Amino acid sequence: MERYRAKVYKKGIIVIPKEVREKLGIKEGDVIELVVDIDKITLNKPVTLLDLFGIDGDKATEVAKEIVKERRKEVEMEIRS
């Protein structure tokens, strides 16, 4: 387990050390999650579906949209029959 220190600035702004950002793949604009448990805070980078798709994220997203579209058609047909 590695430990890092970060200073809290005005308005609660905390700068995440560069090593941590690189290790977790955190970049500007990303959403992170703070989990508060009594007297400690855990910082997490939630995994999104696009993260799980990897390099083929755009193609996988299109495939997922097509699957949803086809499933909607199937549901409509089931409702009508």
pLDDT tens-digit readout, 2-42: 899 999 999 999 999 999 999 988 999 888 999 999 999 99
Indicate the pLDDT class of residue 71, thresholds 50, 70 and 90.
very high
Greater model confidence, 69 or 55:
69
- Report how far residue 25's alpha carbon sits from residue 16's, in angstroms, rounded to the nearest whole number: 12
Quick one: pLDDT at residue 1?
Answer: 84
Alpha-carbon distances of 37 from 20, 42, 58, 69, 76, rounded to whole Å: 21, 8, 37, 41, 46
Quick one: pLDDT at residue 64?
Answer: 81
Q: For residue 54, is pLDDT > 80? A: no
In the chain, DSSP assigns E strands to: 33-37, 40-44
Greater model confidence, 62 or 27:
27
